[in-house]
Amino acid sequence: MNDQLSVSSDADLLRAHVEGDPDAFGELFARHRDRLWAVALRTMGNREDAADGLQDGMIAAFRRAGSFRGEAAVTTWLHRIVVNACLDRIRAAKVRRAEPLPDDLEDRGGRGSLVTQDGTHDPGDLSVAAERRRRVLSALESLPPAQRAALVLVDMEGYPVHEVAAMLGCAEGTVKSRCFRGRARLHELLSDLDPTAVTPDDGNQADDRPVPTDDQPRGPPPAG
């Protein structure tokens, strides 16, 4: 991959991909892979489905790059496609399953750090935190997909409401309403937990999974 690509803007990389540069899309994906993977993982609830959703989204983005008109940031466009792909898979499954906690959701020393002063982890605290994350993610999985996606993007990934509205293809008021209803439901399900634990401070680590080359692009999720 040449040095020129590494300093190019996202929009330039997407344009280069459309014009036939074989390395441009790979560079673009590498830049945003971690956050796209985190969104897919939290939306789907388990690693296998998240990997499929991310792959679906990247295939769609690869194929539909020529339709990008620059009305939003490239990263917003990528997130919208990935979230749509994940929601498509959730709707297609029509069954919510209880899955084990993904093994890459780790506390990295930020809010709620369990690292002791000597740099070690307290086993008791780790056990409590793991159970708390399991409860939170299980509750999150019980939400309707549209509410789940809004909460993942706003509360977990920290995107502003207007940007999430662009990602989900709906009005800002719809995003706020979905978040409000989702938070209320989580509060109801998790009222026995510390309020600061309702949104898990998970890691955003990504798996370096290959993107397949044959699938169909996904459409936008329905409003509501």
Predicted local confidence at residue 32, as pLDDT: 95
Highest-confidence segment of 85-94, 178-187, 194-203? 178-187
Establish if 193 belongs to a structural domain: yes
Is-contact 61 36, C-beta < 8 A? no
| CB-based burial label for 142 (10 Å; 0-12, 13-18, 19+) | middle
Higher-confidence residue of 168 and 6: namely 168
Rounded mean pLDDT, 17-43: 94
For the ranges 7-11, 98-102, 106-110, 219-223, the lowest mean pLDDT is seen at: 106-110
Establish if 217 belongs to a structural domain: no
Looking at the DSSP bridge assignments, the partners of residue 121 are 115
- As for how many domains the chain has, the answer is 2
Which of the listed residues 74, 100, 126 is the one where a domain comes to its end? 100
- Band of residue 214 on the pLDDT scale cut at 50, 70, 90: very low
Task: State phi, psi for 60 to the nearest 5 degrees.
Answer: -60, -45
Same domain, 126 and 149: yes
Over the chain, what is the mean pLDDT? Answer: 76
Rounded mean pLDDT, 145-166: 91
Same domain, 120 and 191: yes
Same domain, 45 and 89: yes
pLDDT at 84 over 50: yes
DSSP-derived secondary structure for 194-215: -GGGSS---------PPPPS--
pTM of this prediction? 0.66
Establish if 138 belongs to a structural domain: yes
Q: How far apart are CA 174 and CA 180, in angstroms?
A: 10
Establish if 147 belongs to a structural domain: yes
**Is the Cα dihedral 77, 30, 217, 174 positive or negative?**
negative
Rounded mean pLDDT, 114-121: 42
Is-contact 106 77, C-beta < 8 A? no
Same domain, 125 and 159: yes
Which structural domain range is residue 172 located in?
Answer: 114-201
Q: Which CATH number characterizes residue 178's domain? A: 1.10.10.10
Q: Which CATH number characterizes residue 73's domain? A: 1.10.1740.10
Rounded mean pLDDT, 33-46: 92
Q: How far apart are CA 5 and CA 31, in angstroms?
A: 11
Rounded mean pLDDT, 26-49: 92
Rounded mean pLDDT, 48-57: 95
Same domain, 197 and 144: yes
